[in-house]
Amino acid sequence: MLAEALLAYAHLLAILSLVVFLTSEAALCRPEWINAAVVRRLARVDFIYMLTAIAVLATGLARTWWGAKGMGWYWSQPLLHLKVTLFVVIGLMSIRPTRAFLRWRKAVEAGGALPPEDEVRQVRRWVMVQAHLMLLIPLAATLLARGVWTK
């Protein structure tokens, strides 16, 4: 019972950390706020976002392996597959903003050039879509935890 609680705690802590850094990206990535310091901070926050995504994945896998219900039960559930699919889609969507943040940082360090406003808006849209898709994952998790649509 203690192991299950600690696994759940670790997973929840990783999820909350991920949300904090994705929210930070959304807040910082605004044309009216872009300056050299923000560009550098966006690249750093995005790196931490990636680390928290890895932590979410690792703790989620740990829960399926060592959790009370066991790997066989978890991986036979369609809602778990929905959660994982959404997580992968969000992860793939994050590649575009990551590449932009790194390109922006390189341009700032090379000569101080800031990204154009329209590009910042476009990248922010990608970050916001990720954030909104992420809202579906806790819904699937809650339904799964309550046995809704389980096999």
Give pLDDT, residue 115.
Answer: 98
**pLDDT at residue 146 tops 90:** yes
Give pLDDT, residue 151.
Answer: 86
Give the DSSP letter string of 3-14: HHHHHHHHHHHH
- Determine the Cα–Cα distance for residues 101 and 97; give it in Å rounded to an integer: 6
Give pLDDT, residue 56.
Answer: 98
Tokens of 64: 């399926």
- Among 64, 50, 39, 66, which residue's Cα sits nearest to residue 130? 50
Tokens of 49: 């976002």
What tens digit of pLDDT does each residue of 101-140 get?
999 999 999 998 999 999 999 999 999 999 999 999 999 9
Q: Give SS3 for 121.
A: helix
**pLDDT at residue 53 tops 90:** yes
To 5 degrees, how large is the angle CA 139–CA 143–CA 146? 140
Give pLDDT, residue 137.
Answer: 98
Given a contact cutoff of 8 angstroms between Cβ atoms, the answer to whether 107 and 113 are in contact is: yes
- Among 59, 83, 96, which residue's Cα sits nearest to residue 135? 83
Give pLDDT, residue 147.
Answer: 96
What tens digit of pLDDT does each residue of 16-41 get?
999 999 999 999 999 999 999 999 99
Sorted by sequence, the CB contacts under 8 Å of residue 49 that are 6+ apart come out as: 18, 21, 22, 24, 25, 94
Give pLDDT, residue 6.
Answer: 97
What tens digit of pLDDT does each residue of 64-111 get?
999 999 999 999 999 999 999 999 999 999 999 999 999 999 999 999
How many Cβ atoms sit within 10 Å of the Cβ of residue 81?
A: 13
**pLDDT at residue 14 tops 90:** yes
Average pLDDT over residues 45-68: 97
